[in-house]
Amino acid sequence: MFSRNFSSKYFRPKLFWSWNQVATSSSSILLLGTGTALFYYYYKIKTVYAEDSSFEDKERPFVKPSREVRVDTDNSGLKLTLYQYQTCPFCCKVRAVLDYHGFSYDVVEVNSITKKQLKWSAYPKVPVLVAEIPGIQKEVVLRDSSVIISTIESYLSDRSTSLEKYVTFYPCDVEVISGKKKFDFPNKYFIMYQDTQDLASTPKQRSEERKWRRWADDHLVHMLSPNAYRTGQEALQAFHYFSVVGEWEKNFSFMERQVVIYAGAFVMYIMGKILKSKYKLKDDVRQSLYDACDEWVKTVRQGKQPFLGGSQPNLADLAVYGVLNSIEGCSAFEDAMRNTKIGPWYNRTKTAIQQHQGCHPLNTKASPSDVKKEPPKK
Ligand SMILES: N[C@@H](CCC(=O)N[C@@H](CS)C(=O)NCC(=O)O)C(=O)O
């Protein structure tokens, strides 16, 4: 039997298979392939693990700022550099807060395709704000728009505590989901006050402020892409506008610009459709944008004051303004101004920001914590 099974008759290679054999083999391969793919997909989808949340940035190379914002009354002593995309809503929020408080800062425009200006950063998104503090060799790196804003606001409320110290109150959770890192800063909407501090706002007002800051990030932001890139033509028009306000001509080569404009418009047109369905926007996406604007106007009006913050904007006013400001040159923005009642509030907030109406904390000289020398190394 042995010899029979191993006889050359059984091992002669076949040149032709019957249809039956072809079908069986192909189905097995197909099944095996699909099984492996499904297993891999399922495994990847199911892979969620926490990662060490400390950021191992590389040494930050000097990059010539794309733009310098200078405000004479800034006495903070901080040298700030904002890594950004000019029309990213999260970056617009940060600029609204920096400008409102009258900070001087440098802007580094990041190339959204190559991201070469941000290669040193372990955190892959913009905005990133770097604060160099006179007298201290170490620079402080702030990541995530809401963390940046809350840290700055905490620091302005009490400058006897250093910026470096405030950053430690905003830890980051890093989760790897399906091979992709997700960053979360659980405290990001909280301002850190001293126990002894006399606060101008009530706990209810602070909670309201946090609620609407979150709304700007989690709801209003999702109205932008489907509206700004509603049609191919609007997407192209938006990217041409971005290239002007982002001064891409100054910062990027001709080829880089063309790639970003045409590839960007195409990708964002598709993304707009995906996001429309993901966030369940109405068929007429403009209507969802108008609904959001109306909701905000109604809330501000309930307070019977010019801003949600009262006589002056609070962080929610600045956040909502920043998000809308990111599409200011797009048809979606013009339509929202024309078809809702948000215009007067928007223009009031813009004036308050442009006039640095929140600059009073910065008019005083830097506090000792800003210029504290590091103890000499032994
Ligand atoms: N939660 C973050 C979101 C920042 C964010 O998503 N930024 C986008 C630009 S609008 C980004 O950098 N995406 C990564 C990329 O462009 O590769 C924040 O508030 O700062």
Pocket perturbation via mutation, ligand 1, pick of 126, 214, 225 by most ligand atoms within 8 A of CB? 126
Please list the residues that pair with 108 across neighbouring strands. 83
The distance from CA 114 to its chain's CA centroid, rounded to whole angstroms, is 17
Is the beta carbon of 144 within 6 A of some atom in ligand 1? Answer: yes
**Which residue segments constitute the domains of the chain, with CATH numbers given?**
67-191+204-364 (1.20.1050.10)
Give the pLDDT mean for 343-371.
82
Instruction: Give the model's confidence band at 51: pLDDT under 50 very low, under 70 low, under 90 confident, else very high.
Output: confident
How high is the pLDDT of residue 372? Answer: 46
CA of 241 to the centre of ligand 1 (A): 20
CA of 149 to the centre of ligand 1 (A): 15
Rounded Cα gap, residues 227 and 333, in angstroms:
9
Q: What is the pLDDT of residues 175-187, one digit of tens each?
A: 998 888 999 999 9
Is the beta carbon of 90 within 6 A of some atom in ligand 1? Answer: yes
For 78, other C-beta atoms within 10 Å of its C-beta total: 21
Instruction: Give the model's confidence band at 42: pLDDT under 50 very low, under 70 low, under 90 confident, else very high.
Output: low
Give the pLDDT mean for 314-339.
97
Give the pLDDT mean for 145-149.
98
Give the pLDDT mean for 80-94.
97
Instruction: Kindly give the number of the ligand 1 atom that is closest to the alpha carbon of 146.
Output: 19
- State the amino acid at position 18 in one-letter form: S
Is the beta carbon of 339 within 6 A of some atom in ligand 1? Answer: no
368 pLDDT higher than 50? no
Rounded Cα gap, residues 101 and 39, in angstroms:
53
Q: Which of 181, 178, 149, 140 is nearest to 53 (CA)?
A: 181
Region for 109 from its dihedrals, namely left if φ exceeds 0, alpha if ψ lies in -120 to 50, beta otherwise = beta
Give the pLDDT mean for 178-199.
90
How high is the pLDDT of residue 24? Answer: 62
Please list the residues that pair with 50 across neighbouring strands. 175
Kindly name the residue from 2, 10, 41, 88 that is annotated as catalytic. 88
What does the DSSP assignment read for 175-190? EEETTEEEEE-TTTT-
CA of 147 to the centre of ligand 1 (A): 13
Q: Which of 73, 60, 166 is nearest to 122 (CA)?
A: 60
Which tokens sit at 284? Answer: 């007429």
How high is the pLDDT of residue 4? Answer: 40
How high is the pLDDT of residue 277? Answer: 98
CA of 245 to the centre of ligand 1 (A): 19
Give the pLDDT mean for 209-233.
98
Max CA-CA distance within the chain?
Answer: 100
Is the beta carbon of 260 within 6 A of some atom in ligand 1? Answer: no
Instruction: Kindly give the number of the ligand 1 atom that is closest to the alpha carbon of 144.
Output: 20
Instruction: Give the model's confidence band at 17: pLDDT under 50 very low, under 70 low, under 90 confident, else very high.
Output: low
Pocket perturbation via mutation, ligand 1, pick of 116, 125, 214, 325 by most ligand atoms within 8 A of CB? 125
Q: Which of 233, 221, 223 is nearest to 265 (CA)?
A: 233
Instruction: Kindly give the number of the ligand 1 atom that is closest to the alpha carbon of 188.
Output: 19
Give the pLDDT mean for 119-146.
92
How high is the pLDDT of residue 266? Answer: 96
How high is the pLDDT of residue 44? Answer: 58
- For residue 208, CA distances in Å to 184, 216, 363 come to 21, 12, 28
Element (H, E) at 315: helix 315-325
Give the pLDDT mean for 363-376.
50
CA of 243 to the centre of ligand 1 (A): 18
Instruction: Give the model's confidence band at 256: pLDDT under 50 very low, under 70 low, under 90 confident, else very high.
Output: confident
The question of whether 166 is a catalytic residue gets the answer no
Of residues 156 and 4, more confidence is placed in 156
246 pLDDT higher than 90? no
Which tokens sit at 37? Answer: 């793919």
168 pLDDT higher than 60? yes
Give the pLDDT mean for 189-201.
87
How high is the pLDDT of residue 135? Answer: 74
Instruction: Give the model's confidence band at 20: pLDDT under 50 very low, under 70 low, under 90 confident, else very high.
Output: low
Give the pLDDT mean for 221-236.
98
371 pLDDT higher than 60? no
Kindly name the residue from 6, 55, 62, 85 that is annotated as catalytic. 85
- The residue whose CA has the least distance to atom 14 of ligand 1 is 125
How high is the pLDDT of residue 198? Answer: 79
- The residue whose CA has the least distance to atom 2 of ligand 1 is 144
Give the pLDDT mean for 138-146.
95
Please list the residues that pair with 307 across neighbouring strands. 310
Q: Where are the beta strands (DSSP E) in 126-273?
A: 128-132, 139-143, 173-177, 180-184
For the chain, the average pLDDT equals: 87
Contact call for residues 271 and 229 (beta carbons, < 8 A): yes
How high is the pLDDT of residue 365? Answer: 59
Element (H, E) at 211: helix 203-215
- For residue 74, CA distances in Å to 4, 93, 152, 153, 361 come to 95, 19, 14, 15, 9
CA of 85 to the centre of ligand 1 (A): 9
Give the pLDDT mean for 303-330.
97
Contact call for residues 19 and 26 (beta carbons, < 8 A): no
For 332, other C-beta atoms within 10 Å of its C-beta total: 23
Is the beta carbon of 145 within 6 A of some atom in ligand 1? Answer: yes
Rounded Cα gap, residues 68 and 124, in angstroms:
23
How high is the pLDDT of residue 376? Answer: 41
327 pLDDT higher than 50? yes
Of residues 239 and 194, more confidence is placed in 239
The question of whether 172 is a catalytic residue gets the answer no
Query: What is the share, in percent, of the chain residues with pLDDT greater than 70?
Result: 86
The question of whether 92 is a catalytic residue gets the answer no
